[in-house]
Chains A and B, each alone.
Chain A
Amino acid sequence: MDARLANTWRLTLNEKNFIKTALLSEIRIDGRKPFEFRNISINFGREDGSAEVQLGQTRVMGIVTAKFVQPYRDRPNEGTLAIYPEFSPMADPSFEAGRSGESAVELGRIIDRGLRESRAVDTESLCIVAGKLVWAIRIDILILDNGGNLVDAANIAALAALMTFRRPECSLGGEDGQEVIIHPPEMRDPLPLIVHHLPIAITFGFFIDENVVVIDPILNEEAVMAGRMIATVNANGDICAIQKAGEGVSQRVIIQCLQLAITKAADITKQIKAAVEAYNSERALQKIKRETTCVGNNVKGDQNQTLDNKGISELVGKYMERLKLISVESYASQNINAEETKSLRRGTDSNCIKFNSTPLSWDPYSKCVDLEFLKASVASQGLSTASEEKEATGKEKGSEAESAGPYEDVNSKWSAVDASTTEMHVIGPKTLKDAVKPKNKRKKKASSMI
């Protein structure tokens, strides 16, 4: 009992008064204006349906999975969607493991109402056999870091994950036409979910003085505010859900907030769509690489639901992505990496900038190698040519004595080279160069036109 009291975080009276007084002159303690949102950065994981959203200091991860269930009896031809929020004790010392508090339940319900009840995801397309078998989509929301305004961040994470999730294609077959065959991703492309619109949650904080309203409150502001309203709206101007608690606020203020929410929702929708587009194009690119190099190998057409993408070529693609990441990062030099950790604390623009430069940076904080080490290892190991890269690693590392050198050692030379163009040429199979050619031609045309 004493221990728990000792470990809770409280804001001092001085801090509370400071925040309130500053807000009266429309100054927020992190320098934003009252109606300014923090920077949002969306990153995707390796698997489909996993997204990590950073809203200033708040970090939330959304993971979407699907499995077969029997449908509800009153809706026999619709799939189900369920949201599981998890307030990890990692995010805040006051979050307890296991038992989720009332704020976790509230968050789950708000996102549930916004997504499911507004029919943002098409559940009828999730039906396989009416009355017997449907897809159940499960969205796990993991709160990793609590920097205030968890609902908005969690909502964006859930949406981003839903839009990039792919479920395996399945068809009816078998003797009686009632057997369900699940096609592994190598045979048939997994399908995306049908999302009609994107409901975005916007949180407003109200304070004792009626004229003081802030959007996207941070942790300290949340501890001070007297009331809060979460409006889930979409870019079309529809209100999907409203949740209001705390101090009474006049009607005029509510209407103003709703109008503001719709404009903000439009911005955020654009951002989410751009991020998903970038992810999808990267994914398509990787698929091309996988298919061209798979020509020679026998594609294992096993019906086991392995759902793994561990074909050599795919991994080559992934390692090339990683090289691109390494090269871009070490190209950008140590400074950006050092700044990055600082900027994470300040929540400035550099996160967003970084996101734009490496679209599939699924590990935005990776610091694979540093420049000096790369130069040193290049000097010590000598150069190896592009096509022999894989054999070279095999020969060098195959020896008994030395063993476990990481990939970085041999791939070091790529760090110093320009990312985009050489990355394509490095891979080796001639078909890829052909795939790249049009791009180069386009570039040349563009430059010649200029």
Chain B
Amino acid sequence: MEVDREDGRSQNQLRPLACSRNILHRAHGSASWSQDTKVLAAVYGPKAGTKKNENPEKACIEVIWKPKTGQIGKPEKEYEMILKRTLESVCILTVNPNTTTSIIVQVVNDDGALLPSAINAACMALVDAGIPMKHLAVAVCCCVAKSGYVILDPTKLEEQKMKAFAYLVFPNSVHSVLPEGSLRVEGEPIENGIITSVTHGIMSVDDYFYCLERGRAASVKLSDFLRRNLQQQSTDSSKAG
């Protein structure tokens, strides 16, 4: 079913992606991610000590979300919590116990799919800072319209008009030198798992599974993009201090 999207994309088309690493000088790691929505992420860490209620046997992750303008309110706190949980499951927390890694996310332009862009930017920034991670988290946003079709990467208008939308975060696809079977979890490859899923609005179970399927396909493309990008820049000299 061909769908008429305002900017002329088809259902399964993402907006042009652009990302770059190492843009800030003071931060230990930084990255910017833009697909019309632009997000800047910076990482400081590991710093000494954990926060009050955190487990000192493990590393702790702290997320600070900065909106473009205005006060920090409940939606920002929610984003911080989702980001924190997602990144906690991606980072290897046992390597640096009793430390805190701070991730600061700054929204530069919000045009739909804000949380997925932030997650992607945060992952890139963590890689730039050299924080040990199991794998990357790749996030996409899927929208379900009233007539049941699913579109990927909505703009802000589309998000508001649609019946429901879901932010989905998958692990990235793995290229490994280890034999095929060893990386599977319960018989399935790692990339079939879901790290985080946040939905808004009402959708049927079938719609949700349809979203997952689409999201997974998109995440493969995104992980390729990320891999290419990271490999290219890995030849740059490391930052001192």
Residues of A within 8 A of B (CB): 2-3, 6-7, 45-47, 50, 57, 59, 61, 63, 65, 84, 86, 88-93, 97-98, 138, 140, 142, 144-147, 306, 308, 310-312, 315-316, 319, 322, 334, 338, 341-342, 344-345, 363, 365-368, 370, 373, 390, 393-394, 397-398, 401-408
Contact = CB atoms under 8 A, between A and B. Distances in A.
B218 A404 contact: yes
A89 B7 contact: no
Given A310-B157, A319-B16, A345 B8 contact: no
A315 B13 CA distance: 15
Nearest to B13: A397
B33 to A, nearest CB: 10
Residue among B9, B69, B236 with most chain A CB within 10 A:
B69
Contacts of A140: 68-69
A345 B15 contact: no
Interface of B: 2, 6-27, 30, 32, 34, 36, 38, 40, 42, 44, 47-49, 64, 66, 68-69, 72, 100, 102, 104, 106, 108-109, 140, 152-153, 155-157, 214, 217-218, 221-222, 225, 228-229, 232-233, 235-237, 239
Given A63-B68, A88-B104, A403 B218 contact: yes
A382 B7 CA distance: 24
A86 B66 contact: yes
Contacts of B109: 45-47, 50
Nearest to B99: A3
A366 B18 contact: yes
Contacts of A93: 26, 44, 47
B214 A90 contact: no
A86 to B, nearest CB: 7
A91 B25 CA distance: 9
Contact of A312 (B7, B18, B19, B22): B7
A403 B152 contact: yes
A300 to B, nearest CB: 10
A90 B16 contact: no
Contact of B23 (A344, A373, A390): A344
A419 B16 CA distance: 18
Contacts of B40: 90, 144
B12 A63 contact: no
Contacts of A145: 24-27
A338 B236 contact: yes
A90 B106 contact: yes
Nearest to A146: B26
A144 B218 contact: no
Given A45-B108, A90-B24, A63 B11 contact: no
A406 B69 contact: no
Contacts of A403: 11-12, 152, 214, 217-218, 221
Contacts of B157: 306, 308, 310
B17 A398 contact: no
Given A3-B47, A316-B8, A398-B12, A310 B155 contact: yes
